[in-house]
Amino acid sequence: MPTQPLSQKEIEDRLRELPGWSLDGDRIARTYRLGTHFAATALVVHVAQIQEELNHHSDLTLGYNTVALAVNSHDVGGITERDFALAHRVEEAAPGHGAD
């Protein structure tokens, strides 16, 4: 399914729907801070499952009790609807987790 990069305005509008997410260069990004390393690891596993379902894989970094995601569509050279679909699914999987 070919997709087109979103305009700067479209990206800004969609980011308003995702508190805690921000524009980081050519990616949208968020860091979750969890209570324990185990909780952070569990979130990474859940995010990996979502990525497989969507066939869309982001940069995903695990720290002691943090999980950082950076998402863009390398194949089209920008941020697309696919990236926001992934971000929304991650938000559903991680409600209530604080962002840095």
pLDDT of residue 98: 53
CB atoms within 10 A of CB 64: 9
Please check whether residue 84 lies inside any domain of the structure. yes
pLDDT of residue 100: 47
Amino acid at 19: P
Please check whether residue 3 lies inside any domain of the structure. no
Please check whether residue 59 lies inside any domain of the structure. yes
Please check whether residue 20 lies inside any domain of the structure. yes
pLDDT of residue 69: 97
Please check whether residue 86 lies inside any domain of the structure. yes
pLDDT of residue 94: 86
Token pair recorded at residue 99: 């962002």
What range does the domain containing 81 cover? 8-99
Distance CA 68, CA 59 (A): 8
Number of domains composing the chain: 1
Q: What is the CATH classification number for the domain harbouring 27? A: 3.30.1360.20
Amino acid at 20: G
Q: What does the pLDDT profile of the chain (100 residues) look like in tens digits?
A: 447 999 999 999 999 999 999 999 999 999 999 999 999 999 999 999 999 999 999 999 999 999 999 999 989 989 999 999 999 999 999 866 554 4
Please check whether residue 36 lies inside any domain of the structure. yes
